[in-house]
Structure 1
Amino acid sequence: MTDSGRVADAGGPAQADGPPHADGPPQGDGLGQADGIGQADGAGWAETPAWAGGPPDPDRPADAPLPTLCATEPTQPLGAGGTTEPTPAAGGGESVISGREVWSFVSAPQLRPMRVAVTTHRSGTAPGQIFVAPYSRSTMVGQTGTLILGDGGEPVWFRPLPSPGLRNADFRVQTWYDPTTGTSQPVLAWWQGPVAETPGGAESCFYVYDSQYRLRQTVTARHGFRADADEFLLTQRGTALFIASRVEPMDLRPYGGPTDGAILNSEVQEVDLSSGELLFSWNVREHVDPAESQVPASDAVHSGGVWDAYQVNSVDEGPDGQLLISARNTWAVYAVDRDGGAVQWRLGGRRSDFTLDAPASFAWQRDARFRSGNRISLVGDGCCDQPGGPPEQPSYGLTLDLDFDNRRATVDRTYHHKPALSSRSQGNLQALPNGNEFVGWGQSPYYSEYAGDGNARGDGQRNLLYDARMPGENVSSRAFRSEWVGTPYYPPSVAVRRDGAQSVVHASWNGSTQTRAWQLLAGPDPESLTVVVEHAMRTGFETTVGTANPGPYFQVRALDQDRAVLSTSAMVRLDG
């Protein structure tokens, strides 16, 4: 079996992404597993990560740089008294890695993703896989990390993190644009950092992986800010827009807070992915008076003296370059002119430029997005009764029509869950290509898909096409559905055991979306392998194939829908 591996990027930081602290499933006598791996075509010099099931790539030049990945250790939570590991309550420091709610695989014992329960699956869902980044602030069921799932809840690709005190966020398919060549390609992108978020953030960054699951780029925040988990958006200009935060000292007395207080400031930053140059920044404190906040400055005494007045949590870009920025704690969405940074209009909050009737009003919102036809969408979170404010309400997805002539906002559609969910934070509403809407419920352990017409409060089953629940108290800050083709640069994993007169082979290929069947080879020595099972249909993440051939050498080939060989595993020897 393998030890740890590394992921590297030819152009940037990379670090040992060691295996999670999990023992593999029980392995009886006579279990064989590959000690070394054959290299997939086109692997370059990137090393095989531990989660792929193999050791470092032997073809990587010995002097190739391997800088450090960000956020590979949990941060110290507030009040931890100098400990290096977060407490379970503050940092999600415990995990359950066995049992009926956790997947385990003989051929990939280092992978222990959560099992989700699919409770509704009707016809009419959009094509594609589901993308989540599970974590927990209490006891994690399975491992934290980035997880692609099929409609039935089975894993497609999983990249676990080495500690339940670390998490990923905003995991989704995006498009990488190269403006110099005019080309583009689908990629995976996400944030990585600690579960225990301290004001201003601990070490954190954004990752971009290509379709072969190679680390292509690591992006960090500038100006002394820390990368924020809420947003990372690739643009057609070959840049990345994201949110970053920083604690800044501030006399909070004018707002009812302490003299020696501080405010959590946020910037929207844009970085050129080719040069790394910071091209644009928009500082919320410079453009929005903290008096707009719905959170009393006196609350700073409960958060280490830091007032979270804004909590900027999403940024979107319109076709004319206008930015749409959501600040949860002001209950407002801001349209920003990127040329000068001026706020062109506000929707919601204390200084709204639009009249919102009662159904259109929202609070503690997230994920504000431009939609076609003068519409926007967002998620209204159920949170935090405030004196004089609206009562706490269930979370819901919302699209609004904006009448710019009369400065009036009205409800277009809403998306509610049954049972009603009250997520205090996080969540997203994704428009799907077939007109459906996909909802990640943030701090509630669900994700759902609805026909585009939506539903009403108290009628959450109407137009519900898909619904799934994560185990325990696992959550994902956002959830997405997208079509994805993964062609791993590393080869398939294989393990074999003896069961009476049968040799039982277990085959998997973490992240392959094109494998449809497996071919099994066996023989008395490495030079004499022959095909003993021509075509065994893939039955999920891991496929089990039996043969009367005693081996003791075995190997598998991954086949596509035309029975062409995609890749070949390493050879494994079964002793005994």
Structure 2
Amino acid sequence: MSEPQLHPMKVAINTYDARTSSGLIFLAPYAFSDDATYGQPGSLILDNTGNPVWFLPLNSPNLMNTDFRMQQLGGKPVLSFWQGTLATPPTYTNVPAGSSEPGSCYYIVDNTYRVIKTVAAQNGFTADIHEFLLTPSNTALLLSTRTVSMDLTPYGGPQHGYVQDFAIQEIDLKTNNLLFFWDALNHIPLAESYEPASSASFSNNTWDAYHLNSIGLTDDAKDIVVSGRNTSTIYKINKPSGMIVWRLGGKQSDFTIESGAEFSWQHDARFLPPNVISMFDDNCCETSGSVPAGTPPSHGLFLQLNLAAKTASLLREYYHDPNLNISSQGNTQSLANGNVFIGWGQSAYYSEYAAGGSTLYDAQMPGSNYTYRAYREKWVGTPYYPPSIAVESNNGVATVYASWNGSTETTTWQLFSGSGLKQFSLTKTVAKSGFETAISVTNSGPYFQVKALDASGKVIGISKITR
């Protein structure tokens, strides 16, 4: 009632264990263009019960956003996300289906929900949906794409074809200077791809040979780890030289992958000390879009690397109940208390697990909705705008609706009423209940106003006056 323009999706909580981590849940729900989206797509923060905390809906049905999460910039927490349009054949087909279209960019938002920075890719590349990573040096590591014309007949593709090149860019957020640039086409042989070049015929003759989908920091500021979905390989790259230090998985692996540690079509590769690689192992669905017989379920995966022996062994793994075969997307987040939070990519679920593997939390989005990644973070939001208020009156009983989109510190609402604009008195004090609190009063007002109080009883926000 108090925010009639907001229509976030409603989620179902399947499992909620008391050992679930503290913090809020970050999603960017959407659905494929040929499926119905339940609720509005956009950036959404939820609590454990599924109540919205902050929602920023997209203002156009053609837009979408991904990788919505909390990060640190200059020692302060911020929100970040990619926003733009995706190629959806046959309407727009000069890049592979599902790829970012020109004009896409990244946004950084402070804890008052003001946009403080917009970042675009450089060197003629387009900002890609998969990764926007803020570093301790106040730079941004991002993925970007462009198509390059090429004769693909040596690889089994069309003669007048294109390759989707992926580039890693590091940008100084103060000066906007490009500090680091590395592209796959000049460093990864096309023969490493498991995606057949013949698939280009379905995307305007463009071959998505690499499909890089994550960048992660390591214990050495000079090195990064990068995931290539369509090569089923995780690369460690030395930034100063641009050299690939090692390959994990794929056709040219520098490591022996021990039994149980195999992975393919993976997302969200992260380096964790001591020499651990975490990822979301899609294991699916190759290039057909269907699940081949015998395909292992998708899961969160942790591998222990032995750099001396060049082996990778299974450390831990996390499966959904029931098992899922995820054809794309997904992430595996290591939480500070040892728990693991998983976004199940192109499915409706997001979950949390104890380190030992037991399910502590599981939630389900409606219909065909899903989110590229899902995160749990401790976030404090203090909106720059005031709380919202609406009032209904029926037979002398007024119901006042109070909300404050994005406020994490509101615990109590005070309701004031009066017969004139300057004749207000405190009418009622109630505890905040969910996103919107309904307050019933017999006082006819007709003027009402609400004030938001924090846990210490301090007034932190005042609504407009409504009649």
Report the equivalent of 1:294.
194
The question of whether the paired residues in 2 share the 8 Å contact of 1:126 and 1:433 is answered with: no
Instruction: Establish whether residue 559 from structure 1 lines up as the match of residue 456 from structure 2.
Output: no
Report the equivalent of 1:323.
224
2: CA distance, partners of 1:384 / 1:466? 26
The superposition leaves residues 486-536 of structure 1 with CA deviations (integer Å, 9 ceiling, x where unpaired) of 000000000001022211100000000000010011111101111111x21
Give the C-alpha shift of residue 386 in structure 1.
Answer: 6.4
Q: How does 1:311-390 map to 2 (within 5 A)?
A: 311-321=211-221, 322-385=223-286
Instruction: Establish whether residue 170 from structure 1 lines up as the match of residue 67 from structure 2.
Output: yes
Report the equivalent of 1:96.
none
Q: Secondary structure at the match of 2:260?
A: helix
Instruction: Establish whether residue 201 from structure 1 lines up as the match of residue 92 from structure 2.
Output: no
Report the equivalent of 1:493.
388
Report the equivalent of 2:136.
236
2: CA distance, partners of 1:421 / 1:405? 35
Any stretches of 5+ residues in structure 2 without a counterpart? 89-94
Number of residue equivalences? 452
The superposition leaves residues 25-72 of structure 1 with CA deviations (integer Å, 9 ceiling, x where unpaired) of xxxxxxxxxxxxxxxxxxxxxxxxxxxxxxxxxxxxxxxxxxxxxxxx
Give the C-alpha shift of residue 195 in structure 1.
Answer: 4.6
Instruction: Establish whether residue 472 from structure 1 lines up as the match of residue 371 from structure 2.
Output: no
Q: Secondary structure at the match of 2:383?
A: coil
Q: Secondary structure at the match of 2:37?
A: strand
1: CA distance, partners of 2:286 / 2:72? 39
2: CA distance, partners of 1:307 / 1:392? 24
Q: What one-letter code is carried by the residue in structure 2 that aligns with 1:258? A: P
Instruction: Establish whether residue 126 from structure 1 lines up as the match of residue 21 from structure 2.
Output: yes
Task: Give the one of 287, 298, 301 matched to 1:398.
Answer: 301
Give the C-alpha shift of residue 256 in structure 1.
Answer: 1.2
Q: What one-letter code is carried by the residue in structure 2 that aligns with 1:191? A: W
The superposition leaves residues 355-404 of structure 1 with CA deviations (integer Å, 9 ceiling, x where unpaired) of 112311111001000011111101111423469x9953321010000011
The more displaced of 464-473 and 556-565 is 556-565
Q: What one-letter code is carried by the residue in structure 1 that aligns with 2:153? A: R
The question of whether the paired residues in 2 share the 8 Å contact of 1:385 and 1:392 is answered with: no
Q: What one-letter code is carried by the residue in structure 1 that aligns with 2:389? A: V
1: CA distance, partners of 2:204 / 2:86? 18
2: CA distance, partners of 1:384 / 1:561? 49
1: CA distance, partners of 2:154 / 2:209? 13
Give the C-alpha shift of residue 123 in structure 1.
Answer: 1.6
Residues 1:164 and 1:420: Cα distance change in structure 2 (over 3 Å): farther
The superposition leaves residues 263-322 of structure 1 with CA deviations (integer Å, 9 ceiling, x where unpaired) of 000001011111111111111111100100001111111111000000000001112121
Residues 1:450 and 1:539: Cα distance change in structure 2 (over 3 Å): same
1: CA distance, partners of 2:352 / 2:23? 12
Give the C-alpha shift of residue 113 in structure 1.
Answer: 0.1
Give the C-alpha shift of residue 196 in structure 1.
Answer: 4.1
1: CA distance, partners of 2:355 / 2:310? 26
1: CA distance, partners of 2:414 / 2:466? 15
Give the C-alpha shift of residue 439 in structure 1.
Answer: 0.2
Could you tell me the TM-score, scaled by structure 1's length? 0.77
Instruction: Establish whether residue 408 from structure 1 lines up as the match of residue 299 from structure 2.
Output: no
Report the equivalent of 2:91.
none
CA RMSD of aligned residues (A): 1.3
Report the equivalent of 2:418.
523
**Is the strand fraction higher in 1 or 2?**
2
2: CA distance, partners of 1:364 / 1:431? 20
Report the equivalent of 2:166.
266
Q: How does 1:89-128 map to 2 (within 5 A)?
A: 106-128=1-23
2: CA distance, partners of 1:390 / 1:262? 32
Task: Give the one of 32, 50, 58 matched to 1:153.
Answer: 50
Give the C-alpha shift of residue 163 in structure 1.
Answer: 2.9
Any stretches of 5+ residues in structure 1 without a counterpart? 1-105, 178-183, 455-462
Report the equivalent of 1:423.
326
Task: Give the one of 303, 320, 329 matched to 2:203.
Answer: 303
2: CA distance, partners of 1:291 / 1:384? 20
2: CA distance, partners of 1:390 / 1:185? 48
2: CA distance, partners of 1:425 / 1:493? 39
1: CA distance, partners of 2:234 / 2:456? 50
Q: What one-letter code is carried by the residue in structure 1 that aligns with 2:19? A: G
Could you tell me the TM-score, scaled by structure 2's length? 0.95
The question of whether the paired residues in 2 share the 8 Å contact of 1:526 and 1:553 is answered with: yes
Residues 1:467 and 1:195: Cα distance change in structure 2 (over 3 Å): farther
